[in-house]
């Protein structure tokens, strides 16, 4: 590649946040280069569950809900556009989300009223009707309009969509630092050489905090490992997604069922453990005893970009103009991706933002 080539924007990070940011900027006519330290879509964007809602959404700050609501209204049509425009099906499924949380029903109803969310209080009998495979039938809430995407297919779909539009992507290129001139960010330093651009966007997931650490303002993003297991189920076993006691079961179109996930502070260690597998299996078969007849065909882990207040950073860096950040989505990368990438694109393009950006500032 010609290292002197000037881009309008370089995006650091090839997960769902980076790829959709590249798409928004490309569609606005910007010359974009996406740079990824490994292969696109192989970190937390690949590893997650793909629930298009925050877990227990009423527990989150309003700023998170506002991002989620904006994206949820547009995701079904957008995922269809990705499929038709790139040829890879992200496997959107409007399966609904049943949350067994009897002591939080009132909070959930108040939240739903504030944000005009479709949510129904349910008793134990309702839970059994919605998900007959459940053994643990408790009161809670039913969100019938919550959908899902299948993460590995979603990132493949986004990549195919970018490829179809000839958006340049440079994989296996680690960014080591930033180029500056007159107090502005004008590109990135990589092990392959310097790359110059008018603007730089860091969307590096769990690696974002370390990359930005030398700029003077602490970026409180750290890796949080999550392990999951996959049952080879059948399409008739479970219809809705089920969340109970911070663990969830997600039925895919082909009958496979994802069970997750752990929350572990293990640095950048992505290894899986027998302890996590046994724990997830025990929880899964206690929640859904029929799962015991199915094979566990896979276990994996991913590193979420953890941030203690759960509010992602979607902002220009206060100490280095021209450098932007879209990171720290923790467990909500997919559901917040559509809105957060549109918002950061608005800020980079200088157009009217879809939401008030103040809550997401560094």
CA dist., res. 151 & res. 148, Å (int): 9
> What are the CA-CA distances from residue 53 to residues 64, 65, 334, 336, 353 (Å)?
10, 9, 9, 8, 22
**pTM of the shown model:** 0.96
Element (H, E) at 107: helix 105-115
Cis amide prior to 190 (ω within 30 degrees) = no
**8 A C-beta contact, residue 180 and residue 215:** no
**8 A C-beta contact, residue 179 and residue 186:** yes
State the Cα torsion 281-249-80-62 to the nearest 10°. Answer: -120
241-244, strands of its sheet edge to edge: 120-122, 140-143, 97-100, 241-244, 247-251, 257-260, 222-231, 296-306
Q: For residue 148, give the DSSP letter.
A: B
Q: Hey, what are 203's tokens?
A: 């969307």
Tally DSSP H helices, then E strands, for the chain: 10, 16
Domains and CATH numbers, the chain: 1-95+145-221+308-362 (3.50.50.60), 97-138 (no CATH), 222-306 (3.30.9.10)
pLDDT tens, N- to C-terminus, the chain (362 residues)? 344 558 999 999 999 999 999 999 999 999 999 999 999 999 999 999 999 999 999 999 999 999 999 999 999 999 999 999 999 999 999 999 999 999 999 999 999 999 999 999 999 999 999 999 999 899 999 999 999 999 999 999 999 999 999 999 999 999 999 999 999 999 999 999 999 999 999 999 999 999 999 897 788 999 999 999 999 999 999 999 999 999 999 999 999 999 999 999 999 999 999 999 999 999 999 999 999 999 999 999 999 999 999 999 999 999 999 999 999 999 999 999 999 999 999 999 999 999 999 999 99
CA dist., res. 197 & res. 155, Å (int): 25
Is the alpha carbon torsion for 260, 55, 331, 82 positive or negative? positive
Nearest to 39 by CA among 2, 20, 17, 13: 13
What 3 state SS string does 41-55 have?
CCCHHHHCCCECCCC
CA dist., res. 49 & res. 201, Å (int): 25
* Contacts of residue 92, Cβ cutoff 8 Å, sequence gap at least 6: 75, 76, 79, 80, 147, 148, 149
Nearest to 41 by CA among 232, 169, 199: 169
């Amino acid at each position: 590649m010609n290292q002197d080539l000037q881009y309008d924007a370089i995006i650091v990070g090839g997960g769902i946040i980076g790829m959709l940011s590249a798409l928004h900027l490309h569609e606005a006519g910007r010359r974009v280069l996406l740079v990824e330290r490994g292969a696109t879509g192989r970190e937390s964007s690949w590893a997650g569950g793909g629930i298009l809602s925050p877990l227990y959404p009423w527990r989150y700050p309003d700023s998170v809900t506002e991002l989620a609501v904006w994206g949820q209204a547009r995701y079904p049509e957008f995922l269809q556009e990705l499929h038709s425009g790139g040829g890879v099906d992200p496997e959107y499924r409007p399966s609904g989300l049943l949350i067994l949380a009897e002591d939080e029903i009132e909070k959930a109803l108040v939240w739903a009223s504030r944000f005009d969310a479709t949510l129904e209080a349910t008793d134990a009998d309702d839970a059994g009707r919605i998900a007959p495979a459940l053994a643990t039938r408790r009161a809670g809430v039913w969100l019938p309009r919550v959908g899902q995407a299948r993460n590995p297919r979603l990132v493949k779909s986004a990549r195919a969509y970018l490829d179809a539009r000839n958006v340049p992507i440079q994989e296996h290129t680690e960014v080591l630092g930033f180029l500056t001139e007159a107090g502005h960010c004008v590109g990135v330093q990589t092990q392959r050489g310097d790359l110059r651009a008018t603007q730089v966007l860091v969307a590096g997931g769990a690696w974002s905090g370390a990359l930005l650490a030398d700029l003077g303002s602490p970026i409180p993003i750290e890796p949080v490992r999550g392990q999951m297991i996959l049952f080879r189920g059948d399409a008739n076993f479970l219809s809705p997604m089920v969340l109970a006691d911070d663990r969830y079961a997600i039925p895919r179109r082909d009958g496979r069922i994802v069970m997750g996930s752990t929350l572990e502070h293990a640095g950048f260690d992505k290894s899986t453990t027998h302890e996590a597998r046994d724990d997830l299996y025990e929880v899964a078969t206690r929640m859904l005893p029929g799962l015991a007849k199915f094979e566990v065909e896979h276990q994996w882990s991913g590193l979420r970009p953890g941030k203690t207040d759960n509010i992602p950073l979607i902002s220009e860096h206060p100490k280095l103009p021209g450098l932007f950040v879209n990171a720290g989505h923790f467990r909500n990368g997919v559901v917040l991706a559509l809105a957060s990438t549109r918002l950061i694109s608005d800020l980079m393009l200088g157009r009217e933002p879809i939401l008030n950006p103040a809550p997401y500032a560094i």
